[in-house]
Structure 1
């Protein structure tokens, strides 16, 4: 039987609330890799936003932008850009309404407005600086995901106006938008088809709304203790929080790591 794959969300999963990779998570990933288990990042982020995590954890495969852009061991294997006409239309409408967008490509991302409070608040939550502004970034380049920055009530006019897009909340004032039906689960299926591994032999960790489909479709879905109710409901089991060794605990629970891997953390409420 081929070695399984383990898919890891980033925020609230690989990273704790301080946007740091806990030592127990670093150890857990390293032990998996030493056993020959494939480790893969599965995130809503743009690759540029997590290259430092790849380097620190020695992970070269990823599902990015909620399944829109997939790389296996450094090789692009799936790319699903948003229709340019849709991008033009939503760009025009947000400009009229005074809302803002981010445009996410495979190699970079830019935002449409300067000093927008919702962009600032959203990126503060990621502990990242305000992005570079370029409201024409989407022209003549593939854009795989966008961010819509607006109030919750205002989101519905975009949902109604753009039935070919899905809008997924990731912050109080920020929504990923993607082609209808796109998700981390779709990206995972593309990767598993490429490497010819059955999803039943795989595992996934996540905590957010955009993790729910991934957690329900994979062989064993593991929700973080800090996860939203939707993620926990979709999972097969719930581990501890990202700050309380949730990755290590979960891998021990499903039998991928031995209990003695946690020995040095037993006094930290593992």
Structure 2
């Protein structure tokens, strides 16, 4: 089968457990470029946290960020943007603060990351992983100024993360509420998903779904893996994600992307 595009999640997929690119992954992406196969990162990350990875790959490529809420061209032109309504944001933030006052909330808008306490340990850890420095601001002030978020990110222990997803999902039908890892809960507009972003992107670039590959490792990759011609789950993915994929490769620490592309003779 002729493939024209490869979408890849970043954390847990493109990067290993140390948040690094494996030499085999670098080699694989370079080979794709030589074959004129478009490589597109698709991530819950903000654009600013994706650009350094593209630089390391020596690739100029479009970016799909915030789980599909924002799509940028290779020239940094905004191709698609979707944010939730202000009242919905106010309501869910109030509920989270009331029911789970101990958790950390991150507020992302375009290429800016806001927190209400820069000194928080989890915020510092996230900054170290992404290489991005957050800004300190009141979320209420941001909303009042019309600066609506592309994404809210809650950081909490796995049991709390699961509880929040279970409690908030039926109460807020206008949001997509999904875990991107056991300790991270993503909150985006209901119309936003990686699958929707992939479909939108392929429409813009006139590429049929049958000619697309997607790599993923977590629950927010589920719908994307079943949208493309070949969805490939990483070996480190949960069973539910592996079940949704057409193929399963080795883990992100064991040359997963390289091995999968080699197995289907793209390398």
Please indicate, yes or no, whether the TM-score normalized by the shorter chain is above 0.5.
Answer: yes
Query: Secondary structure of the equivalent of 2:60?
Result: coil
- Relative to the length of structure 1, the TM-score reads 0.86
- The match for 1:182 among 192, 196, 204 is 192
Which residue does 2:107 correspond to in 1? 103
1:115 Cα offset (Å): 4.8
- The match for 2:136 among 114, 118, 133 is 133
Whether the 8 Å contact between 2:70 and 2:82 is mirrored in structure 1 is yes
Name the CA distance, whole Å, in 2 between partners of 1:84 and 1:127. 27
Name the CA distance, whole Å, in 2 between partners of 1:160 and 1:185. 21
Whether the 8 Å contact between 2:49 and 2:132 is mirrored in structure 1 is no
Name the CA distance, whole Å, in 2 between partners of 1:249 and 1:184. 23
Q: RMSD value over aligned CA atoms? A: 2.4
Deviation per CA, 1:113-171: give whole Å up to 9, x if none: 45556x45973894768843322344422421111345233444322432211211124
Name the CA distance, whole Å, in 2 between partners of 1:202 and 1:169. 25
Whether the 8 Å contact between 2:181 and 2:218 is mirrored in structure 1 is no
Which residue does 1:92 correspond to in 2? 94
Whether the 8 Å contact between 1:103 and 1:146 is mirrored in structure 2 is yes
- Relative to the length of structure 2, the TM-score reads 0.86
1:96 Cα offset (Å): 3.1
1:243 Cα offset (Å): 1.7
Name the CA distance, whole Å, in 2 between partners of 1:91 and 1:113. 16
Stretches of 4+ aligned residues off by more than 3 angstroms:
112-117, 119-122, 124-132, 154-157
Which residue does 2:5 correspond to in 1? 5
Which residue does 1:266 correspond to in 2? none
Name the CA distance, whole Å, in 2 between partners of 1:45 and 1:127. 8
Gaps of 5+ in 2: none
* CA pair 129-193 structure 1, distance change in 2 beyond 3 A: closer
Which residue does 2:69 correspond to in 1? 68
Query: Secondary structure of the equivalent of 1:66?
Result: helix
Deviation per CA, 1:224-264: give whole Å up to 9, x if none: 1111212211111111111211111111112211xxxxxxx
* CA pair 121-229 structure 1, distance change in 2 beyond 3 A: farther
Query: Secondary structure of the equivalent of 1:187?
Result: helix
* Count of aligned pairs: 256
1:36 Cα offset (Å): 0.7
